[in-house]
Amino acid sequence: MIDDVKLMTLIEPVVRDLGFELVRVQLSGNKDLTLQVMAERPLDGQLHIDECAAISRALSDMLDVEDPIIEPYRLEVSSPGIDRPLTRSQDFIKWAGFEAKIAVKELIEGRKRFQGRLGGIEHDIITIIGNTGTHYALPFSMVDTAKLVITNDLLEATKPQVMDIDTSGNAIPVLQ
């Protein structure tokens, strides 16, 4: 079976050409395979249903031609959601200060699971500050899964903004 990295190299250019950023590609399941593609608009991190449909159509066309998955599968295109997965080093920078859960591949300081406020990432080392104030340094390469935790701060920060278009055609937030 093809791995997620190879799928990402096929999928990322299609998503980028449509004006979106790829967040995650994951092929999962045994008999009933699902190819999950998460994407977002670079400007606001949102993705509407019509945009999901456009990405899905473009990916379906490419995947039909390339045919990288031999077994039958279902294509699922979605936004990363509020409690989004953190998959790229830039995610740990963008979401610094927010609460996250991180699971690592091997024990670090006797643990595999960490929860706390993200301190960011520097030189591929993620800092997470636990509830007791303990700082943990986690190598990015050791991360198995990471995602944001829904908090009031996160809900406020991810609230959809009302946007307008300026004279140059750029989207700008409207102050409310």
Task: Please tell me the CATH code under which domain 89-157 is placed.
Answer: 2.30.30.180
Contact between 121 and 102 under an 8 Å Cβ cutoff? The reply is: no
| Confidence at 122, pLDDT banded by 50, 70, 90 | very high
Check whether 25 has a pLDDT greater than 80.
Answer: yes
Q: Please write the tens of the pLDDT for every residue from 157-168.
A: 887 765 566 677
Task: Give ranges for CATH 2.30.30.180 in the chain.
Answer: 89-157
Residue the block writes with tokens 């190598």: 139
Check whether 43 has a pLDDT greater than 90.
Answer: no
Mean pLDDT within 28-43? 92
Question: Cα separation of 153 and 132, whole Å?
Answer: 19
Domain 4-78 grouped into CATH 1.20.1340.10 = no
Q: Please write the tens of the pLDDT for every residue from 100-112.
A: 999 999 999 999 9
Which range (24-28, 63-67, 169-173) has the least confidence? 169-173
Question: Cα separation of 152 and 136, whole Å?
Answer: 24
Check whether 176 has a pLDDT greater than 70.
Answer: no
Task: Answer whether 0.75 is exceeded by the pTM.
Answer: yes
Token pair recorded at residue 76: 């699922």
Token pair recorded at residue 3: 């791995």
Task: Give ranges for CATH 3.30.300.70 in the chain.
Answer: 4-78
